[in-house]
C-alpha cells in the first residue's frame, strides 16, 4: 500500500493511503508524527528477550564453527562478506575461530581480514543478528560438509 503526504492550496495536509485521502489540520499531523516516532523508537521487553535469545543461539553456532575442518573453512570464508566474517568471529567464544580463519586465508586476504577485524570493533547487537541470519544457510552447508567429511573418514 502506498502512502503519500502533501499540502493542498489552502495549506491543509493531505494524507493519501491507497485510494483513501484524509485532510488533516497541522495539530493532528504533529500528534500523528509523535505517535509514529514513539512506536518506532519503543522496544518492548519481548523484543529485547527475543534479541537476547537469538544472540545466545548465534554465539553457540559461531563457536561450533571453530571445530570445522580447515578445508571447509577455506571454502566458507570467500563466500561471505567481510562484515559477516568479522561478525561470526566476534560472536565465537575465545579466539579459536579467529586463528582458524587467519590460518586458512591467503596472505593478501589475511591482511584484509585483520584490517577489517580491527576496523569493525563495534558491531551493534542488531547488526550482529542481521549478519548471522544471513550466514545461517552457509553455516548449515558447512556443517553438512563437515558431517560428510567425518563419515567418509570412517
What is the phi/psi pair of residue 120, to 5°? -100, 60
Average pLDDT, stretch 83-107?
94
- Would the pLDDT of 130 be above 90? yes
Pick from 54, 110, 55: which is nearest to 77 by CA?
A: 110
Query: What percentage of the chain carries pLDDT values higher than 90?
Result: 58
The lowest-confidence range among 18-27, 86-95, 112-121, 127-136 is 18-27
Whether pTM > 0.85 for this model: the answer is no
d(CA 145, CA 79): 15
Determine the pLDDT at residue 46: 76
d(CA 144, CA 69): 12
d(CA 108, CA 111): 5
Amino acid at each position: 500500500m502506498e502512502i503519500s503526504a502533501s499540502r493542498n492550496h489552502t495549506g491543509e495536509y493531505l494524507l493519501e493511503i491507497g485510494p483513501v485521502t484524509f485532510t488533516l489540520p497541522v495539530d493532528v499531523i504533529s500528534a500523528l508524527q509523535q505517535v509514529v516516532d514513539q512506536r518506532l523508537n519503543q522496544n518492548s521487553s519481548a523484543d529485547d528477550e527475543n534479541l537476547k535469545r537469538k544472540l545466545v543461539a548465534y554465539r553457540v553456532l559461531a563457536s561450533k564453527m571453530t571445530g570445522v575442518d580447515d578445508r571447509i573453512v577455506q571454502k566458507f570464508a570467500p563466500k561471505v562478506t567481510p562484515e559477516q566474517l568479522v561478525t561470526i568471529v566476534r560472536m565465537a567464544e575465545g579466539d579459536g575461530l579467529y586463528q582458524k580463519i587467519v590460518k586458512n586465508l591467503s596472505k593478501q586476504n589475511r591482511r584484509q581480514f585483520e584490517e577489517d577485524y580491527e576496523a569493525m570493533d563495534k558491531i551493534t547487537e542488531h547488526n550482529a543478528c542481521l549478519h548471522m541470519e544471513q550466514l545461517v544457510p552457509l553455516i548449515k552447508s558447512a556443517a553438512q560438509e563437515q558431517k560428510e567429511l567425518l563419515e567418509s573418514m570412517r
